[in-house]
């Protein structure tokens, strides 16, 4: 979250700054919780792809003090009270071991992921990378979740989302597509809420660095190699979360004062920072 | 649940023409193989004609193409699919397309020999597959990084190296046989989008998020050079086929760049092709030695000529010229002006030396020194006559064909400011202008032997100071003069009466005025203004009407012409001269020349190209550009290069589209395809809605509180579009969007209009040339997404749909000034994204709604007596797997629905039950809008999103 003109138009964005959240996405988890009471009776919690940490902030505030919250991300994160931050790869078996160690060998009650990749603009690639992110979160979750546990993840409702719904429905009692009011209706973003984890009988999932997420799940897929898979698609229930009188993230609100607020956390430098500097200094384009 | 999710009675839809991102290109022998989404298209390079086109994958897009070493088979792969097909079967249309699949995304694929293929997946694994029985081996290097890019490189020595471009972990190079990692190159920041090794095994090149290209020594892994220049992400790069020190790169910034490694630590940018596609993103490209082919998000395929002879620049320094011509150069002497004839170029220096440059033998020859041309001299000419005319300060004309020179006494005897030339059908004119506003212009007319046949004094129109361009309409005998601030004067040369049209529009100096169409008492003009505005207008001398007007955002316009019904413009942008095809929205060429400044230049159209002659730092530069490929190398037409947000079909297949690139395009559906005419830049951002209001007017709404009314017309059978009115802004909130609008036609030029806003406002306007606000109110605090009028008898109602899932109906008073809510009901959980409301009969309307909640509802709006009611006919909460984005009516009981899950569905509600009758996947991602029209008794469905698709119903 930078210091931008968004302050003037996005009420959630502004409120996030005022209330000390590191990103406006905090409201998405709060609204999901209002609908599904996600935080009831949970103790061991994992927040995947957690940076900058707004969901961990929510968890830290809303859960009892004796809960164990672990936030994992490849990027470094500023510490949060009562949250263990791990800079680690969620597909690495060692990460699983570390988390289990923090839980004293107990399993997790709740795992969430608000991760999204950088968008290229090539829709099929973007959707694939997002699905890989979800499947990576899911494979760790499968090794980590207590039977009956909950899993929620950010999804983009693109062309193959019904394949994912079908896959998730094999592993959870209930799968719902939820869209908090704080998520713009112009965005394809939504959240898949999976309740009641039911481990597949006889399957002992194991993280392996040399396996792709597809390899991991292939143990429960029976397709012959190279055949176009029999695609099982499934539609799931849609629930809009948040009160009807909540702020509408698509609306424009007038009369906001012009003051811009400092961001709670400075944005990280983009990979193209050097290119911007060079262009500014006229060092671009060596011509003959 | 009524529908079976993704495919049902698919033959009810017949895809005709798709436009969308080009995801793979391979040049092989004389053919270009193109992955056009799920389609394979093959073009002959020589003829630029399509020789093959078929949808080979069911849903997935082709991302990689390779041809077997024996040239008999083609390997296609993309997403998780791959396929090998026999090429001769393919051309004979008897190939079987057997799509195969692996579990992971395939980054790239190639033949390692005629019977073995290699697939690199996104987990850095290689499948080595024997094609005879599809037995395979999965090979990895023990480094399971997620890849964004990669290449399989078969070097000349037979070794195979995998170059993997990872999301987080730099470049990994490994040997397929030994499975050993050779290098892990971590100099880039961010994701790697392209990496290749040259065939000789000398270099590695890579590009990434950090906008740099890096060239490494393959033998040491040392970074040798960086290439900087791309303005945003670089999507791909490639070595030239036979010169491994040359590289092409393509990117998000819509540029193609050619680089050379010259041993230093910075790659040299040899060539820059800017705006060679529309919008954003060149996704794919391939290079041979002297051609390069690119494919964009705009669906255009372009072949670029890399042969340097076809854009050649010769440079001659003024010192070199004075030396060969043996005259003494004064300090600071420069080439004042020049004019080119068929065989030679005539130059005048600032000190009055006249020089001839023989084009054929490339030699300069001294013609003499003219004292009256010291520090003044306007060089013009008539190429058809082979004559150059140089005016001195007193208006006397030095005439030369390059060999003989002769003075013509203008008999003016006073200081002139400028001369203008004009010629048409063996008549040649010179107009002389003096600084004194009271002195008339003198118009000389010459014959073919360049003898003066007529001299006319033409009185200056009042307050008409500096002329910048002239044109003569010989049909009506009108003289057209152009000046600053888009002001033109027209003088009837018979009566000498003049008419001035001042400030026809916003804009600066007119750089060129030209006649499109003279007819009796009517004149069509093309006016080009330096600051980028071009205008088509029609005048009858007493009034003018603008037909078409737009402003270029890329640079300045110095001149242009209409060629084969396409508008070609040229001018300067930053340090470049450029030639732009406005109709096709592509740059034709550019030349680095230091920008405009007060640069002396001439642009000459030739048979098969053009010449651009200019001064640059003490040099006379002659740039010759030749078209090697027809249609500027454009092989496949495309559409917007950004996501299409809305579209509307009007009369005669006229198709208006708005897209994320903030432009409105005006197109026509012709022969199942889309022909593009104009791309309008009037909106700033956040396009929301476009709709035909009647056959003469179009409306569009966007962010920044923009609502524009466009007048539609046609000139020479080309549809034209011109902004006639826009709403004034009331708030300084850029995010205040006009989400939708609707209109009721009062007369063919006047309307009642409703606009709805993202801050919950609803406004009613009367439009009669200008807007008159009749009424405004606020719904609640949420965003209003849709609005439509409906009428029962004399009673007008306004229906709105909002982000809270409600529809509300207001009854309006006859004068539209007051409103009362008569209905309010929740039909969806959240945003109602699409509505379709149409009259079924006098007493009821049908309202179909689609929501962000994946549901659709069908309702009847009934009026009984004075009471309006809404009755749900049926609803389906599982109408799609994703947001519903548009609803198009087929007939009274059938409609088509698009949704972001990329399934197009045909629904009916005959027996009060909603039924899905057909479902078919569309390759258009981010599916966001649709409309249906009927052309030649055929129903055509147009689907818009990240691309455009035309289907027959």
Question: Given B5, B81, B140, which is nearest A162 (Cβ)?
Answer: B5
- Among chain B residues, CA nearest to A250: B783
Q: Is residue A287 part of a domain?
A: no
| CA B92, B93, B96, B97 torsion-angle sign | positive
Cα–Cα distance measured from residue B882 to residue A190, given in angstroms and rounded to the nearest whole number: 10
- Comparing B96 with B857, the larger pLDDT belongs to B857
Question: Taking CB atoms and an 8 Å cutoff, what residues of chain A touch B120?
Answer: none
| Contact assignment for A274 to B854 by CB distance below 8 Å | no
Residue B899 token pair: 């949704």
* DSSP secondary structure of B205-219: EEEETTSEEEEEETT
A55 marked as part of a ligand binding site? yes
Q: What is the pLDDT of residue B442?
A: 95
Distance CA B419, CA B433 (A): 6
CATH topology of domain B24-139: Methylamine Dehydrogenase; Chain H (2.130.10)
Residue A160 in domain:
yes
CA distance A12 to A6: 10
Nearest to B277 by CA among B586, B677, B678, B640: B586
Degrees, nearest 5: CA angle A200-A201-A202? 115
Task: Kindly list the residues from chain B whose CB atom is less than 8 angstroms away from the CB atom of residue A248.
Answer: 781-783, 803-804
pLDDT of B294 reads 98
| Domain presence at residue A140 | yes
**Residue showing tokens 């008409």:** B464
**Structure tokens belonging to residue B432:** 């002389």
Pairwise CB contact (< 8 Å): A228 & B81: yes
Return phi, psi of residue A122, to 5°.
-90, 100
**A272 vs B104, B209, B829: nearest CB:** B209
| Cβ-proximal residues to B442 (8 Å cutoff; 6+ apart), any chain | B395, B410, B412, B431, B432, B455, B456, B457, B458
Residue B726: closest CA among B759, B696, B758, B704: B704
> What is the pLDDT at residue A4?
46
Residues A126/A128/A134/A138 CA torsion (nearest 10 deg): -170
Chain A residue with CA closest to B258: the answer is A287
Kindly report whether the peptide bond that precedes residue B124 is cis, defined as omega within 30 degrees of 0. no
Contact across the interface for A233 and B881, Cβ inside 8 Å: yes
Among A8, A125, A234, beta carbon nearest to B733: A8
Chain centroid to CA A139: how far?
Answer: 14
Residue B475 has which token pair?
A: 């049909």
Contact B855 A239 (CB under 8 A): no
Give the per-residue pLDDT at A257: 57
pLDDT in tens, B41-75: 999 999 999 999 999 999 999 999 999 999 999 99
Inspect the interface and report whether the beta carbons of B228 and A117 lie closer than 8 Å: no
Comparing CA positions, the residue from B149, B161, B256, B148 lying closest to residue B199 is B161
Answer yes or no: is pLDDT of B927 > 90. Answer: yes
The minimum CA-CA distance between A286 and chain B, rounded to whole Å, is 5
Nearest CB to A251: which of B188, B783, B830?
B783
In tens, the pLDDT along A235-258 reads 999 999 987 777 888 888 876 655
- For A160, the domain range is 6-280
Search chain A and give the residue with CA nearest B168: A74
Contact residues on chain B for A119, CB-CB shorter than 8 A:
none
Rounded to whole angstroms, the Cα distance separating B617 from B599 reads: 10
Top-tier CATH class for B141-305: mainly beta
Rounded to a whole number of angstroms, the distance between the first and last alpha carbons of chain B is 24
pLDDT digits (tens, 9 = 90+) for B414-429: 899 999 999 998 999 9
C-alpha distances (whole Å) from B116 to each of B69, B176, B457 are 11, 14, 83
Q: Which residues from B are below 8 Å from A252, CB to CB?
A: 733, 735-737, 757-759, 783
Q: Which residue of A has its CA nearest to B641?
A: A121
| pLDDT reported for residue A245 | 75
Alpha carbon distance B442, B330 (integer Å): 34
- Please name the residue of chain B whose CA is at the shortest distance from the CA of residue A235: B881
For B914, residues 6+ apart whose C-beta sits below 8 A from its C-beta are: B2, B856, B858, B873, B874, B875, B876, B907, B908
Residue with tokens 């499948």: B127
In this predicted model, what pLDDT tens digit does every residue of B524-545 receive, in sequence order? 999 999 999 999 999 999 999 9
Q: A with B: how many residue pairs have Cβ under 8 Å apart?
A: 208
A203 is in an annotated binding site: no
Query: How large is the angle between the packed helices A26-36 and A54-62, nearest 10 degrees?
Result: 40
Check A251 against B592: CB less than 8 A apart.
Answer: no
| Residues 6 or more apart in contact with residue B159 via CB below 8 angstroms | B175, B177, B201
Residue of B213, B252, B685, B38 lying closest to A121 (CA atoms): B252
Instruction: Give the closest of B190, B803, B901 to A271, CB-based.
Output: B190
Q: Closest Cα of chain A to B2: distance in Å?
A: 12
Q: Are residues A248 and B782, on separate chains, in Cβ contact within 8 Å?
A: yes
Mean pLDDT, residues B376-383 taken together: 95
Task: Give the pLDDT score at A1.
Answer: 47
Q: Pick from B861, B635, B760, B723: which is nearest to B50 by CA?
A: B635
**Is there a contact between B102 and A275 if contact means CB atoms under 8 Å apart?**
no
DSSP character string of B857-901: EEEEEEEETTEEEEEEEEEETTS-SS-EEEEEEEETTEEEEEETT
Q: Do A122 and B21 lie within an 8 Å CB cutoff?
A: yes
**Taking Cα atoms as reference points, which of B243, B117, B222, B224 lies closest to residue B173?**
B222
pLDDT > 80? residue B108: yes
Is A73 annotated as ligand-binding? yes
Q: What does the pLDDT read at residue A286? A: 67
Has the ipTM of the complex gone over 0.85? yes
Tell me the chain B residues in contact with residue A287 when contact means C-beta distances shorter than 8 Å: 268-269, 592
User: Within a 13 Å sphere around the CA of B858, how many CA atoms are in the beta-carbon half?
Assistant: 26
pTM: 0.94
- How close B403 comes to chain A (CA, Å)? 37
CATH number of the CATH domain containing A120: 3.40.50.150
Token digits for A154?
């950010």
CA B406 to chain A, closest CA, distance in angstroms equals 43
In chain B, CATH 2.130.10.10 covers 24-139, 141-305
- The rounded percent of chain B whose pLDDT value lies above 70 is 100
Q: Dihedrals φ, ψ of B302, to 5°?
A: -130, 140
For B649, the token pair is: 């079909």
A246 is in an annotated binding site: no
Specify the number of domains making up chain A. Answer: 1
Query: Is A233 within 8 Å of B21 when comparing Cβ atoms?
Result: no
A288: nearest CB among B60, B101, B270: B270
- B849 strand-pairing partners: B835, B857
Residue B373 phi/psi, 5° resolution? -100, 10
Are the beta carbons of B354 and B321 closer than 8 angstroms? Answer: no
pLDDT exceeds 70 at position B3? no
Give the rounded distance of the alpha carbon of B619 from its chain centre: 34
- Token readout for B561 is 């012409």
Looking at residue A11, its pLDDT comes to 82
The pLDDT assigned to B414 comes to: 86
Task: Return the residue of B nearest to A274 by Cα.
Answer: B210
Residues of B within 8 A of A188 (CB-CB) are: 882-883, 900, 926
Residues of chain A with pLDDT under 50: 1-4
Q: Is the pLDDT of residue B395 over 90?
A: yes
Asked whether the beta carbons of residue A157 and residue B883 sit closer than 8 angstroms, the reply is yes
A89 is known to lie in a ligand binding site: yes
Question: Is B140–A210 a contact, with Cβ atoms under 8 angstroms apart?
Answer: yes
Please name the residues in contact with A62: beta carbons below 8 A apart, sequence gap of 6 or more: A30, A33, A39
Q: What sign for the dihedral angle of Cα A130, A131, A135, A141?
A: positive
Residue A68 dihedral angles phi and psi, to the nearest 5°: -115, 115
Whether B266 and A286 lie within 8 Å, measured CB to CB: yes
Pick the residue of A51, A185, A281 with the most B CBs within 10 A to test the interface with B by mutation. Answer: A185
Q: pLDDT at residue B1 above 50? A: no
According to DSSP, the β-strands at B136-140 and B125-130 are antiparallel
Q: C-alpha distances in angstroms, B361 versus B146, B365, B605?
A: 60, 11, 21
With contacts defined as CB-CB under 8 Å, which chain A residues touch B79?
124, 128
Residue B397: CB atoms within 10 A of its CB come to: 21
Which residue in A has a C-alpha nearest to residue B705's C-alpha? A252
Contact A159 B735 (CB under 8 A): no
Neighbours of B413 (CB within 10 A): 9
- Are A209 and B735 inside 8 Å of each other by CB? no
Q: In chain A, which residues have their Cβ closer than 8 Å to the Cβ of B877?
A: 237-238
Total number of residues shown for chain B: 953
- CA B376 to CA B5: how far, in whole Å? 78
Best mutation site among A128, A244, A252 for testing chain B: the one with the most B CBs within 10 Å? A252
* Cα–Cα distance for residue pair B806/A271, rounded to 1 Å: 44
Q: What is the DSSP letter of B727?
A: P
Burial class (CB in 10 A: 0-12, 13-18, 19+), B683: buried
C-alpha distance from B144 to closest chain A C-alpha (Å):
6
HEC sequence for B392-461: CCCCCEEEECCCCEEEECCCCCCCCCEEEEEEECCEEEEEEECCCCCCCEEEEEECCCCCEEEEEEECCC
Helices (H), B665-796: none
Which of A121, A169, A182, A288 is most worth mutating to test chain B (most B CB atoms within 10 A of its CB)? A121
**Backbone φ and ψ of B167, nearest 5°:** -75, -40
Residue A288: inside a domain? no
Of A221, A250, A271, the CB nearest to B209: A271
The mean pLDDT of B730-753, rounded to a whole number, is 94
**Residue pLDDT, tens place only, B799-835:** 999 999 999 999 999 999 999 999 999 999 999 999 9
Q: What is the pLDDT of residue A8?
A: 52
pLDDT at res. B2: 43
Residues of A forming the active site: 154
Chain A partners within 8 Å of B781 (Cβ)? 248, 251, 253
Average pLDDT over residues B675-687: 95
Partner-chain residue, chosen from B101, B122, B900, that has the shortest CB–CB distance to A188: B900
Percentage helix, strand, coil for chain A under 3-state DSSP, each rounded to 5: 30, 20, 50
């Amino acid at each position: 979250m930078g210091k931008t003109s968004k302050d003037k138009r996005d009420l959630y964005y502004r409120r996030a700054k005022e209330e000390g959240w590191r990103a406006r996405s905090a409201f998405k988890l709060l609204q999901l919780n209002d609908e599904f009471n996600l935080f009831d009776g949970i103790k061991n919690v994992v927040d995947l792809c957690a940076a900058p940490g707004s969901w961990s902030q929510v968890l830290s505030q809303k859960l009892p003090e004796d809960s164990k919250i672990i936030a994992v991300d490849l990027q470094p994160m500023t510490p949060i009270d009562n949250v263990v931050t791990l800079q680690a790869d969620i597909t690495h078996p060692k990460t699983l071991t570390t988390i289990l160690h923090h839980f004293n060998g107990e399993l997790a009650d709740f795992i969430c992921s608000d991760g999204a990749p950088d968008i290229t603009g090539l829709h099929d690639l973007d959707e694939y990378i997002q699905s890989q992110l979800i499947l990576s979160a899911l494979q760790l979750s499968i090794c980590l979740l207590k039977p009956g546990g909950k899993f929620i993840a950010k999804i983009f409702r693109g062309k193959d989302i019904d394949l994912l719904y079908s896959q998730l429905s094999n592993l959870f009692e209930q799968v719902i597509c939820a869209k908090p009011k704080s998520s713009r209706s112009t965005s394809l973003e939504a959240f898949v809420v999976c309740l009641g984890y039911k481990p597949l009988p006889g399957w002992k999932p194991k993280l392996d660095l040399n396996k792709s997420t597809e390899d991991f799940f292939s143990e429960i897929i029976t397709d012959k190699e190279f055949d176009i898979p029999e695609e099982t698609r499934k539609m799931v229930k849609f629930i809009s979360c948040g009160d009807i009188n909540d702020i509408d993230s698509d609306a424009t609100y007038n009369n906001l004062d012009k003051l811009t607020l400092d961001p709670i956390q400075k944005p990280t430098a983009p990979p193209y920072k050097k290119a911007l500097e060079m262009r500014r200094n006229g060092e671009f384009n060596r011509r003959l | 649940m009524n529908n079976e999710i993704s495919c049902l009675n698919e033959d009810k839809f017949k895809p005709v023409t798709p436009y969308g991102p080009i995801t793979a290109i391979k040049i092989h022998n004389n053919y270009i193989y193109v992955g056009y989404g799920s389609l394979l298209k093959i073009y002959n390079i020589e003829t630029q004609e399509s020789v093959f086109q078929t949808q080979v994958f069911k849903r997935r897009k082709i991302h990689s193409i390779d041809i077997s070493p024996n040239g008999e088979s083609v390997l296609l792969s993309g997403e998780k699919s791959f396929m090998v097909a026999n090429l001769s079967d393919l051309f004979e249309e008897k190939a079987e397309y057997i799509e195969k699949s692996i579990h992971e995304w395939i980054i790239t694929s190639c033949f390692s020999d005629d019977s073995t293929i290699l697939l690199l997946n996104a987990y850095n694994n290689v499948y080595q597959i024997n094609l005879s029985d599809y037995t395979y081996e999965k090979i990895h290097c023990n480094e399971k990084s997620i890849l964004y890019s990669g290449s399989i490189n078969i070097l000349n020595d037979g070794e195979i190296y995998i170059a993997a471009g990872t999301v987080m972990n730099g470049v990994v190079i490994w040997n397929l046989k030994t499975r050993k990692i050779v290098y892990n190159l971590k100099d880039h920041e961010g994701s790697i989008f392209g990496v290749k090794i040259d065939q000789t095994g000398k270099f590695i090149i890579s590009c990434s998020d950090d906008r740099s290209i890096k060239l490494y020594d393959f033998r040491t892994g040392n970074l040798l050079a960086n290439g900087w220049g791309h303005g945003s992400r670089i999507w791909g790069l490639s070595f030239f086929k036979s010169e491994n020190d040359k590289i092409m790169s393509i990117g998000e910034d819509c540029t193609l760049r050619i680089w050379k490694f010259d041993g230093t630590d910075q790659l040299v940018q040899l060539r820059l092709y800017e705006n060679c596609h529309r919008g954003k993103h060149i996704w794919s490209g391939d290079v041979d030695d002297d051609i390069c082919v690119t494919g964009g998000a705009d669906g255009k395929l372009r072949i670029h000529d890399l042969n340097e002879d076809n854009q050649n620049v010769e440079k001659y320094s003024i010192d070199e010229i004075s030396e060969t011509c043996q005259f003494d150069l004064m300090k600071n002497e420069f080439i004042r002006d020049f004019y080119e004839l068929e065989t030679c170029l005539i130059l005048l220096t600032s000190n009055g030396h006249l020089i001839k440059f023989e084009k054929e033998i490339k030699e300069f020859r001294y013609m003499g020194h003219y004292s009256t041309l010291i520090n003044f001299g306007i060089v013009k000419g008539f190429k058809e006559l082979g004559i150059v005319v140089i005016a001195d300060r007193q208006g006397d004309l030095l005439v030369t064909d390059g060999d003989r020179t002769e003075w013509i006494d203008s008999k003016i005897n006073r200081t002139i400011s400028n001369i203008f030339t004009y010629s048409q059908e063996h008549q040649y004119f010179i107009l002389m202008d003096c600084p004194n506003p009271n002195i008339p212009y003198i118009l000389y007319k010459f014959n073919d032997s360049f003898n003066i046949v007529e001299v006319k004094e033409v009185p200056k129109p009042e307050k008409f100071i500096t002329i910048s361009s002239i044109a003569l309409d010989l049909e009506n005998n009108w003289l057209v003069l152009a000046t600053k601030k888009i002001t033109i004067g027209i003088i009837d040369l018979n009566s000498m009466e003049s008419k001035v049209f001042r400030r026809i529009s916003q804009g600066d100096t007119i750089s060129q005025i030209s006649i499109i169409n003279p007819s009796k008492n009517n004149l069509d003009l093309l006016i080009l203004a330096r600051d980028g505005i071009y205008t088509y207008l029609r005048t009858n001398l007493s009034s003018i009407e603008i037909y078409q007007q737009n402003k270029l955002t890329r640079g300045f316009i110095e001149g242009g012409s209409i060629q084969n019904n396409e508008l070609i413009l040229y001018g300067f942008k930053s340090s470049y001269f450029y030639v732009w095809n406005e109709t096709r929205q592509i740059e034709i060429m550019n030349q680095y020349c230091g920008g405009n400044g007060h640069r002396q230049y001439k642009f000459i159209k030739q048979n098969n190209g053009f010449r651009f002659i200019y001064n640059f730092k003490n040099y006379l530069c002659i740039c010759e550009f030749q078209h090697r490929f027809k249609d500027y190398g454009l092989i496949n037409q495309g559409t917007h290069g950004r996501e299409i947000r809305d579209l509307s079909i009007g009369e005669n297949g006229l198709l208006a589209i708005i897209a994320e690139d903030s432009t409105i395009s005006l197109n026509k559906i012709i022969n199942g395809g889309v022909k593009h005419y104009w791309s309008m830049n009037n909106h700033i951002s956040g396009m929301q809605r476009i709709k035909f209001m009647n056959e003469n007017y179009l409306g569009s709404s966007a962010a920044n509180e923009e609502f524009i009314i466009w007048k539609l017309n046609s000139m020479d059978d080309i549809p034209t579009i011109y902004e006639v009115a826009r709403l004034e802004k009331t708030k300084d909130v850029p995010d205040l969007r006009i989400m939708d609008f609707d209109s009721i036609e009062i007369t063919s030029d006047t309307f009642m209009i409703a606009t709805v806003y993202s801050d919950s406002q609803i406004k009613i306007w009367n439009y009669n040339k200008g807007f008159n606000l009749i009424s405004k109110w606020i719904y609640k605090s949420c965003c209003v997404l849709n609005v439509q009028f409906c009428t029962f008898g004399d009673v007008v109602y306004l229906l709105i749909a909002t982000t809270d899932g409600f529809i509300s109906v207001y009854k309006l008073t006859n004068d539209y000034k007051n409103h009362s809510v008569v209905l309010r009901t929740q039909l969806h959980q959240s945003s109602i994204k699409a509505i379709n409301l149409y009259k079924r009969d006098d007493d009821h309307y049908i309202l179909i709604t689609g929501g962000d909640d994946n549901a659709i509802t069908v309702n009847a709006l009934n009026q009984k007596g004075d009471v309006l009611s809404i009755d749900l006919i049926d609803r389906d909460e599982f109408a799609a797997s994703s947001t519903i984005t548009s609803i198009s009516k087929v007939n009274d009981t059938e409609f088509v629905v698009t949704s972001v899950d990329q399934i197009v569905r045909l629904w009916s509600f005959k027996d009060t039950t909603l039924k899905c009758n057909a479902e078919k996947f569309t390759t258009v991602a981010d599916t966001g809008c649709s409309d249906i029209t009927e052309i030649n008794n055929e129903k055509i469905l147009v689907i818009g999103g990240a691309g455009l698709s035309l289907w027959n119903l």
